[in-house]
Structure 1
Amino acid sequence: MPEPEGGSGQYGGSTRAVLIVASDVAAHPDSAVGEIAARTGLPQSQVSTSVARLKEAVVTAPDPADRRRLLVRQAPELSARVTEVRATTIEDALATALAESTPEDRKEVTDALEVLARHLSPRSSTRDTTAQAPR
């Protein structure tokens, strides 16, 4: 898994910036680094660094209108890292994180995560907010 922002391991540096850039590239294929920087509010140097870190997940090509600029888009094939992350289940992550815990503890954590997911999902923001809370 990538390290938190500021980490210095294999995926060190600003993980948050990389995620922001990856999301922008997915939403706006064939964008120049400067355009990504303008949309995201990140410094152009940080966008360039993030694109470099995403080398397996994105492809770059010269802009036909201005050969000095590079356009960035998602790679047509999933990188090994994306495939690895998608193959990892919550159970695998919990087993690793809670290696010293009991099966009952892991079930309790899983149940709590399910409650959080239900309340924090995008659909939860559209629920009826006019309902009265129990008294």
Structure 2
Amino acid sequence: MGPVELILLGRTLMKLGEQALPATPAGGERTVVIVMSDVYEHPGTTVGEIADRTGLPQSAVSGAVARLREAGSVLADPDPADRRRQLLRRNPSPTARQREVAAVDIGPAVATALGEPSRLPEVLAALEVLGRHLTPQAASRPRSRR
């Protein structure tokens, strides 16, 4: 597998994840998940810092943060250095939405994409292995130069 195939696989996995997520009326799950992941990796961060790290427009980050705060997944505290800014952090208590999403079985979405139900156990096992080894933090590790 080359870098292009890896990118295409990543896009496919993102789409499958989105299909497996329980729907919300507002939509925009991908942006919310990206922002939530960034807040969880960088506690005490700001909307502007998230936008810089993720490449998302600041307006999209602000909207996602508002949804996450409303759902209770992200908490905000005033920045002591600049009271106009909010420092964002993970809510240590799981919310109803987090419990709902954690309980979702991805099998049906993967099975539909495969079109070959007999391969589902092998693919789910491979995804478990990838999930254990390729965590969100893995992509941010420094690259070695060849």
* TM-score, length-scaled by structure 1: 0.64
Q: Distance in 2 between matches of 1:120 and 1:70?
A: 32
Give runs of aligned pairs for residues 41-120 of structure 1, distance below 5 A: 41-55=55-69, 56-88=72-104, 90=105, 93-94=106-107, 108-115=119-126, 117-118=128-129
Name the residue aligned to 1:38: 52
Task: Decide whether aligned partners of structure 1 residues 109 and 54 sit closer, same or farther in structure 2, where only a CA change above 3 A counts.
Answer: same
CA gap 1:118/1:31 in 2 versus in 1, 3 angstroms: closer
Question: Where do 4+ consecutive residues of structure 1 move more than 6 Å?
Answer: 95-98
Question: Counterpart of 1:12 in structure 2: which amino acid?
Answer: G
Aligned to 1:10: 25
Give the secondary structure class of the aligned counterpart of 1:54: helix
Contact kept, 8 Å, 1:3 with 1:9, in 2: the verdict is no
Q: Secondary structure at the match of 2:75?
A: strand
Secondary structure in 1 matching 2:56: coil
Shift of 1:109: 2.2
Point out where structure 2 has 5 or more consecutive residues left out of the alignment.
1-16, 135-146
Q: Which whole-Å CA distance do the structure 1 matches of 2:108 and 2:51 have between them? A: 38
Distance 2:31 2:130 in 1: 26
CA distance in 1, matches of 2:74, 2:82: 20
Overall identity of the aligned pairs, in %: 45
The answer to which structure has the higher helix fraction is 2
Q: Show CA shifts across 1:48-89 (max 9, x none).
A: 01111212210111111100011111112111111122234x
Larger Rg: 1
Greater RCO, 1 or 2 (C-alpha within 8 Å, sep 6+)? 2
